[in-house]
Amino acid sequence: MSDANYKLNQNTDSFVMNNNIDTFFETNNELISMENVSLVYDKKSATVPAIDNININIYPGEFVCVMGPSGCGKSTLLNILAGFITPTGGSVKLNQKEIKGIDSNRGVVFQQPPLFEWFSVRKNIAFGPKMKKVSKDKIATDVETLLDQVGLKAFADKKVYELSGGMKQRAAIASALINNPDILLMDEPFGALDALTREQMQGLTRNIWWKTGKTIFFITHDVDEALLLGTRVLVMSKHPGRVIADIPVDFTKSYVEENSDDVRYTDRFHQKRNHILSLINGQ
Ligand SMILES: Nc1ncnc2c1ncn2[C@@H]1O[C@H](COP(=O)(O)OP(=O)(O)OP(=O)(O)O)[C@@H](O)[C@H]1O
Ligand SMILES: [Mg+2]
Q: Is 150 a domain residue?
A: no
| Nearest bound ligand to the CA of residue 45 | 1
Distance CA 172, CA 124 (A): 8
Of the residues 42, 43, 65, 76, which should be mutated to test ligand 1's pocket, given the most ligand atoms within 8 Å of the CB? Answer: 76
Q: Cα dihedral sign for 216, 23, 247, 252?
A: positive
What is the CATH number for 194?
A: 3.40.50.300
| Protein residues near ligand 2, an ion, with CB under 5 A | 75
When mean pLDDT is compared across 11-15, 81-85, 122-126, 165-169, the lowest value belongs to: 11-15
| Nearest bound ligand to the CA of residue 221 | 1
pLDDT at 47 over 50: yes
Domain carrying residue 89:
3-105+181-281
Nearest-CA residue for ligand 1 atom 24 is 70
What residues does ligand 1 touch, defined as CB less than 6 Å away? 41, 43, 48, 50, 68, 70-76
| Nearest bound ligand to the CA of residue 66 | 1
Q: Is 135 a domain residue?
A: no
Each residue's pLDDT tens digit, 185-215? 999 999 999 999 999 999 999 999 999 999 9
Nearest-CA residue for ligand 1 atom 12 is 50
**Ligand 2 centroid to 258 CA: how many Å?**
33
Task: Please state the pTM of the whole predicted model.
Answer: 0.90
Domains held by the chain: number: 1
The number of helices, as runs of H, and strands, as runs of E, in the chain is 10, 10
Q: Is 84 a domain residue?
A: yes
Q: Is 94 a domain residue?
A: yes
**Nearest ligand 1 atom, CA 188:** 27
Mean pLDDT of 14-25: 39
pLDDT at 242 over 80: yes
Nearest-CA residue for ligand 1 atom 5 is 41
pLDDT of residue 28: 65
Backbone φ and ψ for 221, nearest 5 degrees, come out as: -100, 0
pLDDT of residue 15: 29
Q: Is 46 a domain residue?
A: yes
Q: Is 24 a domain residue?
A: yes
Q: Is 8 a domain residue?
A: yes
Mean pLDDT of 257-276: 92
